[in-house]
Structure 1
Amino acid sequence: MPENPGAAANCVCLSGEAYADCCGRFHSGGADAATAEQLMRSRYSAFVLLNAEYLRKTWHPDTVPADLELDPAMEWRRLDILSTNRGGPLDTEGTVEFKAHYRHDGERGVHHETSRFVREHRRWYYVDAVRLA
């Protein structure tokens, strides 16, 4: 399992911020994401770091899978946020389109999707996604 980056290390979501000031504060429970994009970035980082507990915690209770197994052979390499629609601090829903570049068993690929999020009781949750070609 990959180790969490040090507090001063750059965040694996490639925001340009230190891990502790970016996704690390969400992973540790020190803060909740204020926007759908922040939640998207923190969930990507959780996939990189094989943090299934955080992924389940941020998945909407109506759509969270009964079982979640992360593949340690999957190397997430880069996250590109392509667009956001709503998903701000005062919104109750939003979408984030992104591409996540990966390497798996020596093969390179891109996971492209639009994720849907809802905000309930001041917390953002991942609901579901549409996978794009």
Structure 2
Amino acid sequence: MPTTKDACPCGRGPAFDACCGRYLGTGVPAPDAESLMRSRYTAFVRGDVAHLLATWHASQRPASLELDGGAKWLGLAVKRHTPIDATHAEVEFVARSRVQGRGHRLHERSRFVRGDGQWFYLDGDILN
């Protein structure tokens, strides 16, 4: 498990505390959809189910979430952040992982919605 002084798993910040650590478990909302998406990737890396559920829009949020403990997250590349209007945005990204020695690549266009002063993950489309 990375420490708070390690580089942020999302790849944007020099240290977890100065990057996604500002949003995980703090109650501080991410300022935009890209920052929220990066914090959600970091939550997957750190196994922070509470952050993932708290940032999932209530209309789509599962009742529970179980992460694959054997997944090793290898990196994140944000391809595009597209604000649509003041309350809607899309983020296209590629997240790489390894599970049981086999590489995986998740390429997704995620939709986000802003409500009650914060951004929420709504849903996404898997891309090739």
- 1:76 paired with 2:73, answer yes
Q: How does 1:1-133 map to 2 (within 5 A)?
A: 3-6=1-4, 8-86=5-83, 91-133=86-128
**In structure 2, what is the Cα distance between the partners aligned to 1:72 and 1:9?**
20
TM-score by length of 2: 0.94
**In structure 1, what is the Cα distance between the partners aligned to 2:27 and 2:19?**
11
Q: Which runs of 5 or more structure 1 residues have no equivalent in the other structure?
A: none
The superposition leaves residues 38-83 of structure 1 with CA deviations (integer Å, 9 ceiling, x where unpaired) of 0000000000111101000000001001221001101111000001
C-alpha deviation, 1:4, in angstroms:
4.7
Q: Which runs of 4+ in 1 moved over 4 A?
A: none
Count of residue correspondences: 128
**In structure 1, what is the Cα distance between the partners aligned to 2:25 and 2:61?**
20
Distance 1:68 1:30, change over 3 A: closer
RMSD: 1.4
TM-score by length of 1: 0.91
Residues 5 and 11 in structure 1, CA contact (< 8 A), matched pair in contact too? no
Equivalent pairs: percent with the same residue? Answer: 40
